[in-house]
Structure 1
Amino acid sequence: MKLQRVICLYRVSTKKQVDKNENDIPMQKTACWDFASSKPDWTIVKEYSEKGISGYKVSADDRDAIQELKEAALNDEFDILLVFMFDRIGRIDDETPFVVEWFAKHGIQVWSVMEGQQRFDSHVDKLMNYLRFWQASGESEKTSMRIKSKMQQMIEDGLYTGGPVKYGYHLSDSGLVNRKGIPIKKLDIDAVESEVIHMMDSMTIHKGYGSHRLSRYLNENGYRTHTGARFTSTVVNRILKDRFYCGYLDDGTSTEALQALRIRSDETYAQILEILEQRNNANEEKRHIALRTKGQAMLSGNIFCAHCGGRLTTIRYRDHYTRADGSEYSVDQIKYSCYHKSRKLCKCDGQTTYQADRVDEIIRQIIRQIFSCMSGAPEEEKLQALLKRQIAGNKARQTQLEHELGKSREQLTKLQLEIAKTLTGESVYSPEDLTQVLRTVKENIANGEQELAKLREEETQKKQSIDLITPAYNQFKSWAEEFDTATLEQKKMIACYLFKRIEVGRGYQISVELNMTYQQFCTEWNNGDFWKTTAAV
């Protein structure tokens, strides 16, 4: 009697199933060994275990165990593939049936402890093979949707679903219990930590503090995270970027319960993101926000050479002088230096350096002049009308995409029905061709859904922009009232917000270009003819 060489495959979808649940690997292993021992001519030569691998989400092409089993089959290393249930091989309806059939075509018997042998002797066998995995796929899809829906609903209700609690919140009793009778916790705003977040926001926006400087300030003043650890720049950045503090989930979803957990306003969040985006190295050419606000110079990030266009950097320079009596003395000065000319990167006919105090005083005069020209917000209605037209165009594209996605989903359904005909030999498609077409259609659906999500996000942002017009004017008005008494750090940030670009030329000829957000609030720039102004001393 010739012994049949058996390889066992065990799989669990989550690592929690490895030791605890009824479908765990030890249980599968025991069942397979008991089943193999009942066959006198079977001998188990090898075992494969896949821990935390979803048979529904992970393709066979990306599973090492399946690929190694195929290679072993080609090398004639075994005769039987044994699993506890056939869905351990996979749960993908348009892939797994063909994987099982591949082993059968290469002389490998495929057995299940619970379902017996999968044969391919007739069209009925092929159809049953497909239907089994089609049903398994449907069950996985429904389970996945049910779990996601439940978790999403709990999050939207402000309930705690596990994991670290975000800084600014603490857990409290919700009065609810889960199916096991365990109390469900909910999130509440922590009064002390929320004030720390407000302080971080203010120092970022009004004083230009970066994440490193903020984390150092927090640590030096005794603030700590939930775990008692010191703040790091990574933690600070995560807090600044997290939209949850505005009452929104990552996908833009918001509910009454989430809004009750709001710590940060939308206007503040938008300003913080603008600053962080501007400071990103990838935006070096577009940056007009200061990378840092320490130092004695008022300008940083948005100041350029009027001759070569290179960025001006701040340097400390010591000038030496000789008095009438022949004695020498030196003076430390802050200067703006043309990066290109100082390093001979191009032929720049401007000055190499400019005294910072002279440039800063000219800019202060220009800012005072701008603030004195305030004329209210006469263009507010026009700007709102423009944004509404853009939203209408966005909605039209969304409608078109939704129609195209509907057609693609119908096509996908028809192709999935064609799989059964392919297995019984009644289809004009080969299994390989049909699989490729299915993948293409699924990719088209995924791309369409991605574009639709992007359009919806843009629509949300434009709707928010309509609401931000009045707050922007209020901010502009506040700067006008407080500029003369503001600290140097605050003046530096005001200059960064107001001016998109400042150019300095020979003889201290200075031109400025306002940011569009605030251009609308100044009479001289309202007609669009005066984008730049020039001053000299």
Structure 2
Amino acid sequence: MVKKKNVCLVRVSTDMQETISQKTAIDEYITKNKIIIDEYIEEDGVSGFKTKLENRKGLMYIKKMALNGELDKLVVFNLDRIGRRMELLGFITLLDECGVKILSATEGCLNEGNATDSLINSIKFWTAEYESKKISERVKAGKKATALRGDFMGGVPNFGYDLKDKRLVINPIEADIVRFLFNSYIEFGTGATLDLCSKKGITKKGKKWTRTKLLKTLKNSIYRGQKELKNGDIPHDESLRIVSDEVFFKAQRLISSRTSKKKGNTTKFVNKSNALFEGLLYHECGDGQIRKLHVDYTSSNTSKDQDYRKLTYRCSHCKNYSKNDIKVQKSYGGIRLHRDLENLILEQMSNITYDDIQEHYNKGKNEDLKDLESSLKMSKKTLKKKNVALSNAQKEIEKIFMNESSIDLETINTIVLNLKDEIKVLEMKIKGLKEKIDDVKSQQINLDLLFDRFKNFGTLYGNASNEKKKVILQQVIDKIVFYEDRVDIILSV
């Protein structure tokens, strides 16, 4: 027969004095009631309100012991040390069904077998959750008010700012570095920006810039005067602005385009070799599929000092064809290929007008906006219904406590929890849709800049170094596809 244990649960508070008080009260209780504790379980760094049961290691361990018939008594300081969520009522019920006595140092036995035990514990959990929610709302409101006043909200100031008289102020030297990072990233991409930082000795408070640090900096809305709060609000403070909206949104669009997948192909800036068309070339394989051509790294001509016109590109798929298989060109390269492609690109770019770009852009933009705004409207409508349903469910809980409802408490509690989860998902979806809509609307700025930059494409391209030519081509070209009888140049604009 399994020897049952007496376990004591202590949820460590951020207030050390409170934790000591808990332990003192528990010690006095177990001494007075002659209870021998076999095991102490401490939960540190968990919230009784925010942390779900499945993420509470201590409670899950206790649950396992109860189901295995290894637990006799659970001693706690009081019920809210177990948690401040209504879902934990089910945890209490489970322990009760497993014959576990739940003892509180301040409230006595919480499951003595009385008919009113479940009701009383339900009221306690509901009250604790309600109070925690109100406290959370007050804290959020306080932080928002602090942000709106422009006061510092704690933590470490972002790079580019100093703390003065409890307010963030721009650090001129670091602000210049931030502007350099934005401009360099837009012009050259991640790798080249990090190389420039290394060559120029530009650091982040003495430490080297990394890809993660760079992208995190570029994505931070504080540099356009917006400090995002955890609840999703973004108060504006123009005194914190370091870069213009035009520069900030252009960087966001480039981050998205350089790291996301489009049409099944990864569209990143690539700069592994000196090959001018690296990452841009595709061809139709013998089986009719379109596949990317890769720089021929097996040859010795891939160094940065090698003339890019002598580099070759090959298809990894078609290299497996033998001489007797389908005849298909497996590799491309040489001075003539580069010259012909550059001439085709220059000719195609010279024929583009702003009206062409505007018409194509507006068509896609309007379709995207229509879909996004429709989805946003539907999501808001659904959210409104879910909030009404949640309000009604919570009112029903009050009726249960007042003995004015015939609905089972466990049933309505499950409904409340599910509705809260669904509302949270909807709120995140709505936030994401709003960001996408703002991004689509902001792209007009980038369109104007793009056309302004490339309206004299021939002159710009002709005067550029090979490294800059690669950047320019990867900005304006989505892919170049070789077919047996033609070459298609597909522009990203």
So what's the TM-score if we normalise by structure 1? Answer: 0.75
Is 1:31 aligned to residue 22 of structure 2? no
- 1:156 shift after superposition: 5.8
Is 1:223 aligned to residue 202 of structure 2? yes
Is 1:96 aligned to residue 88 of structure 2? yes
Q: Sort the Cα spacing of 1:468 and 1:145 in 2 relative to 1 into closer, same or farther, 3 A.
A: same
- 2:60 corresponds to: 67
Output the CA distance in 2 between the equivalents of 1:31 and 1:101. 25
Q: For residues 120-167 of structure 1, what are the alpha-carbon distances to aligned partners after superposition, in whole Å with 9 as ceiling and x for unaligned?
A: 665554433222221111111122222233334545665543444433
Is 1:270 aligned to residue 270 of structure 2? no
- 1:495 shift after superposition: 1.6
Which range is displaced more, 105-114 or 340-349? 340-349
Is 1:484 aligned to residue 462 of structure 2? yes
- 1:234 corresponds to: 212
Q: Sort the Cα spacing of 1:156 and 1:286 in 2 relative to 1 into closer, same or farther, 3 A.
A: farther
Counterparts of residues 315-330 of structure 1 (less than 5 Å): 315=296
- 1:32 shift after superposition: 1.3
Root-mean-square deviation (CA), in Å?
3.8
Q: For residues 395-426 of structure 1, what are the alpha-carbon distances to aligned partners after superposition, in whole Å with 9 as ceiling and x for unaligned?
A: 44433332322222222233344446667988
Counterparts of residues 73-92 of structure 1 (less than 5 Å): 73=66, 80-92=73-85
Counterparts of residues 442-481 of structure 1 (less than 5 Å): 442-477=420-455, 479-481=457-459
Name the SS of the counterpart of 2:84 in structure 1.
coil
The number of equivalent residue pairs is 476
Q: Sort the Cα spacing of 1:429 and 1:91 in 2 relative to 1 into closer, same or farther, 3 A.
A: same
- 1:350 shift after superposition: 3.8
* One of 49, 60, 76 as aligned partner of 1:56: 49
Q: Sort the Cα spacing of 1:360 and 1:258 in 2 relative to 1 into closer, same or farther, 3 A.
A: farther
Is 1:334 aligned to residue 314 of structure 2? no
- 1:28 shift after superposition: 0.6
Is 1:354 aligned to residue 332 of structure 2? yes
Output the CA distance in 1 between the equivalents of 2:344 and 2:158. 43
Output the CA distance in 2 between the equivalents of 1:481 and 1:253. 46
- 1:12 corresponds to: 12
- 1:498 corresponds to: 476
* One of 440, 443, 450 as aligned partner of 2:418: 440
- 1:29 shift after superposition: 0.6
- 1:172 corresponds to: 163
- 1:186 corresponds to: 168
8 A Cα contact 1:483 1:491, kept in partner: yes
Counterparts of residues 77-156 of structure 1 (less than 5 Å): 80-93=73-86, 95-118=87-110, 124-155=116-147
- 1:87 shift after superposition: 0.7
Higher strand share: 1
Aligned sequence identity (%): 21
- 1:257 shift after superposition: 0.9
Q: Sort the Cα spacing of 1:334 and 1:392 in 2 relative to 1 into closer, same or farther, 3 A.
A: closer
- 1:34 shift after superposition: 1.8
Output the CA distance in 2 between the equivalents of 1:388 and 1:274. 20
Q: For residues 177-212 of structure 1, what are the alpha-carbon distances to aligned partners after superposition, in whole Å with 9 as ceiling and x for unaligned?
A: xxxxxxx24142x333333344344444434x543x
Counterparts of residues 500-515 of structure 1 (less than 5 Å): 500-504=478-482, 510-515=487-492
Counterparts of residues 194-209 of structure 1 (less than 5 Å): 194-207=175-188, 209=189
- 1:88 shift after superposition: 0.6
8 A Cα contact 1:172 1:187, kept in partner: yes
Output the CA distance in 2 between the equivalents of 1:118 and 1:33. 18
8 A Cα contact 1:306 1:503, kept in partner: yes
- 2:223 corresponds to: 245
Output the CA distance in 1 between the equivalents of 2:54 and 2:356. 62
8 A Cα contact 2:6 2:36, kept in partner: yes
Q: Sort the Cα spacing of 1:407 and 1:123 in 2 relative to 1 into closer, same or farther, 3 A.
A: farther
Give, as a single letter, the amino acid of the residue that structure 2 aligns with 1:401: S
Which range is displaced more, 422-431 or 131-140? 422-431
* One of 251, 260, 266 as aligned partner of 2:240: 260
Q: Sort the Cα spacing of 1:254 and 1:30 in 2 relative to 1 into closer, same or farther, 3 A.
A: closer
Name the SS of the counterpart of 2:295 in structure 1.
strand
Q: For residues 465-504 of structure 1, what are the alpha-carbon distances to aligned partners after superposition, in whole Å with 9 as ceiling and x for unaligned?
A: 2443322322322645422211111212222222222134
Output the CA distance in 1 between the equivalents of 2:210 and 2:317. 35
- 1:314 shift after superposition: 2.8
Q: Sort the Cα spacing of 1:246 and 1:475 in 2 relative to 1 into closer, same or farther, 3 A.
A: farther
8 A Cα contact 1:206 1:489, kept in partner: no
- 2:377 corresponds to: 399
Q: For residues 205-240 of structure 1, what are the alpha-carbon distances to aligned partners after superposition, in whole Å with 9 as ceiling and x for unaligned?
A: 434x543x54344234322221x2223333234334
- 1:322 corresponds to: none
Q: For residues 58-103 of structure 1, what are the alpha-carbon distances to aligned partners after superposition, in whole Å with 9 as ceiling and x for unaligned?
A: 233432322333454566666543322221111012x233433444
- 1:526 corresponds to: none
Q: Sort the Cα spacing of 1:71 and 1:443 in 2 relative to 1 into closer, same or farther, 3 A.
A: closer
- 2:305 corresponds to: none
8 A Cα contact 1:307 1:350, kept in partner: yes
- 2:304 corresponds to: none
- 1:53 shift after superposition: 1.5
Structure label with greater radius of gyration = 1
Output the CA distance in 2 between the equivalents of 1:477 and 1:237. 30
Give, as a single letter, the amino acid of the residue that structure 2 aligns with 1:91: R
Output the CA distance in 1 between the equivalents of 2:223 and 2:65. 53
8 A Cα contact 1:245 1:261, kept in partner: yes
- 1:27 shift after superposition: 1.7
8 A Cα contact 1:127 1:424, kept in partner: no
Name the SS of the counterpart of 2:175 in structure 1.
helix
Output the CA distance in 1 between the equivalents of 2:358 and 2:210. 41
Q: Sort the Cα spacing of 1:105 and 1:442 in 2 relative to 1 into closer, same or farther, 3 A.
A: same
- 2:283 corresponds to: 305
